[in-house]
Amino acid sequence: MERRFLYPGKTDIWIVPDDVNDENREARLRLLSERERSRYASYQSREARSRYLAGRTALKRLLSFYAEVRPDDWSIEADCYGQPSIKQPEWLSFIKIGISHAGGVTAFALTIDDAVGIDVSDRFKENDVSLAPVILSEHEMAAYRATLPADRLEFLRDRWTLKEAYTKALGKGHWIAFDTFAFDHANHSAIRLQHALEIQPIRWQFRLFNVGELRLALAVAARAPRPITVEIFELSVAFDAFMPVPGAA
Ligand SMILES: CC(C)(COP(=O)(O)OP(=O)(O)OC[C@H]1O[C@@H](n2cnc3c(N)ncnc32)[C@H](O)[C@@H]1OP(=O)(O)O)[C@@H](O)C(=O)NCCC(=O)NCCS
């Protein structure tokens, strides 16, 4: 894979299949720092451990497309709210990262300096309609009720995915109640944020995409007022085909 570049205002999104298995697990674990390995071990289920390992090792290898740093020399740590950031090499910490897992893939968003959040969501099921009062503000609830019943699950999924991406970009996740802010988003026009705590809603830019069956939302808070450029790279094959892990069979 050739070297990739980011510049202010550019966001790269990567969709990578989760591909950890018994054959590559040991080699993948060698890419983790000691802290990352203890986080890996702290997950109760094998599935959760594999998802975390696939995500972290894919991210480190992705980052090595952007800078001449070995995958195992990156250290990515979460703050007390869970927001991940680059800790080593420290001078590259201006690269901001967003992560989301769903449907057997991990999605990453990479920017320079701008706060970024990403979320991918599977299709909502019929009983997810019970989440509407938790996800939606009063204003959105009115729009939801005015939506054709057949379109309501997609309405909900869009709002959920956008709200997850936004609150991750803020670094707070579910600590911010989702019914306290809203998105105005009709007929594919620009997606606008209404949040009483945001004094500069205009700095935010949002995108929604379909990735197969998944819905993907991106939230970027631009440091300077400028349009953003987004490129999506979807890997359909295991990462090992692009960048073998050193020492792997
Ligand atoms: C962020 C959050 C919404 C993610 O939820 P999710 O839908 O289950 O999971 P996703 O796969 O979409 O996202 C997971 C990724 O979000 C990122 N993330 C977690 N917390 C984050 C935060 N506060 N800000 C930004 N990103 C965050 C992580 O990188 C994580 O991936 P990783 O574990 O592989 O590093 C949720 O974990 C959260 O709200 N966390 C903060 C609040 C909290 O800790 N609540 C726990 C009890 S109230």
Q: How many whole angstroms from 167 Cα to the centroid of ligand 1?
A: 9
Residue 146 has φ and ψ, to the nearest 5°, of -85, -5
> 249 falls in which pLDDT band (50, 70, 90)?
very low
Interstrand relation of 75-78 and 84-88 (parallel, antiparallel or unpaired) = antiparallel
- Over range 151-162, report the average pLDDT: 96
- Strands of 10-17's sheet in order across: 95-102, 105-112, 10-17, 229-234
- Over range 122-146, report the average pLDDT: 96
Element (H, E) at 50: helix 46-66
pLDDT at res. 248: 47
Closest CA to 59 of 109, 115, 1: 109
Closest CA to 55 of 93, 16, 26: 16
- Probe residue for ligand 1, chosen from 33, 36, 85, 99 as the CB with the greatest number of ligand atoms within 8 Å: 99
Domain regions of the chain by residue span: 16-112+233-240, 120-231
> 225 falls in which pLDDT band (50, 70, 90)?
confident
Does any ligand 1 atom lie closer than 6 A to the CB of residue 104? Answer: no
- Over range 12-40, report the average pLDDT: 94
Residue 49 has φ and ψ, to the nearest 5°, of -65, -45
Closest CA to 78 of 104, 52, 111: 52
pLDDT at res. 238: 64
63, 6 contact by CB (below 8 A): no
pLDDT in tens, 66-120: 999 999 999 999 999 999 999 999 999 999 999 999 999 999 999 998 999 999 9
Tokens 């201006």, residue? 94
pLDDT at res. 198: 85
Element (H, E) at 154: helix 152-169
Q: How many whole angstroms from 81 Cα to the centroid of ligand 1?
A: 8
- Over range 216-237, report the average pLDDT: 88
pLDDT at res. 54: 95
Fold agreement (16-112+233-240, 120-231): yes
Fold of 16-112+233-240: Ribosomal Protein L22; Chain A (3.90.470)
- Over range 192-220, report the average pLDDT: 92
Q: Which atom of ligand 1 is nearest to the CA of 97?
A: 29
> 246 falls in which pLDDT band (50, 70, 90)?
low
pLDDT at res. 232: 95
* Statement: residue 2 has pLDDT above 80: no
Averaged pLDDT score across all residues of the chain: 91
pLDDT at res. 108: 98
Q: Which atom of ligand 1 is nearest to the CA of 106?
A: 11
187 CB neighbour count, 10 Å cutoff: 4
Residue 185 DSSP SS3: coil
Residue 62 DSSP SS3: helix
Q: How many whole angstroms from 142 Cα to the centroid of ligand 1?
A: 29
User: Which residue type occupies 126?
Assistant: E
pLDDT at res. 157: 97
pLDDT in tens, 159-192: 999 999 999 999 999 999 999 999 987 665 689 9
Euclidean distance between the first and the last CA atom of the chain, given in angstroms as a whole number: 20
CATH 3.40.50.150 fits 120-231, yes or no: no
pLDDT in tens, 29-67: 999 999 999 999 999 999 999 999 999 999 999 999 999
